[in-house]
Structure 1
Amino acid sequence: MENENGTKKYEFSYWIKPDIAESSLGDVQNEIKNFIEKSGGGTIKEKGIIRENLAYPIKHYGYGFLKVSLIEFAPVKMDEFRKYLKLNANILRYNIGTADDIDIIQIKEFKKIVNESQKIKSAAIEIEGVREGEGKKASDIPPEASVVHQAPEKEKITLEDVDKKLEEILGREI
């Protein structure tokens, strides 16, 4: 949904390389902000830069500095903005998504939701053994019930057993 001045709202997040001194993180942020303003856009809302571990290495880095902003930008200049970000040596990765009248997702709230869902999953695994015995409380279940069942151990097969089976199948002695 474009505004009257031809701009659209975007949620823009980017990872800054960790080998940059923390004192110069503001310079990288200002470079990007200046580019947005020169291109006719602007920053509506932004969150501070935070140090975060990456889910997987990006360009051999295990962590980086994350910046999330809500920006206004002209869609016709978006390709130029993406090229600028790709060529910027300080940016590990970026993400731009349309933000039709939404606010920036709170990173801490997101982590809280993820932690709660993990707790729910672990509780579901624990309760899995309760389904057969309706009306039981989790405290009534013996500790062995929440243990994941393992497959029974198979008999060890010796080389002699293999030879006997081959003789039986082939009908001759080996």
Structure 2
Amino acid sequence: MTIEAGSNARAALVGELNALLADHFALFVKTKSFHWHVAGPRFRDLHLLFDEQALEIRDQIDLIAERVRKLGADTLTSTGSIARTARVKDQDSTTLSAEDMVAELRDENVALVQRLKELKELAGEARDNATEGLIDGWTDVAEQRVWFLTQTLK
């Protein structure tokens, strides 16, 4: 199935899938950076948690990109296109507290869940059942990250 000329719903869906792809790349980098730079009494647990979550995000990147290609469209092609498209905010500090790292990742994942729910609506409008099904799985995984990070802050 390819995008047909004039299909506004499908074009919007592809645009948002690419935005989701950019967010996953950016969130992967942020999560991995926090994995490398976390310090303090909870170092081991958070170091492992951040690595586990980074790998989970990384594994979704290819699935999202391949969905865009299956729809007959092009994916993001460079770090510049990722930077222009991602909503995930850069974090260059290597000295954030462990608590601030967890809170920042929680907030980014909450925003990602919201983006996924909006994307599900677009998939419905485009009558793309396959993408809707994938989004359900991606949402569940992101909600689990939110749950883990939220519980870690208690």
TM-score (norm 2): 0.32
Which structure would you say has the larger RCO, counting Cα contacts within 8 Å and 6 or more residues apart?
2
Give the number of the structure whose residues are more often helix, by fraction.
2
Larger Rg: 1
Compare the two structures and name the one with the higher strand fraction. 1
> TM-score, length-normalised on structure 1?
0.30
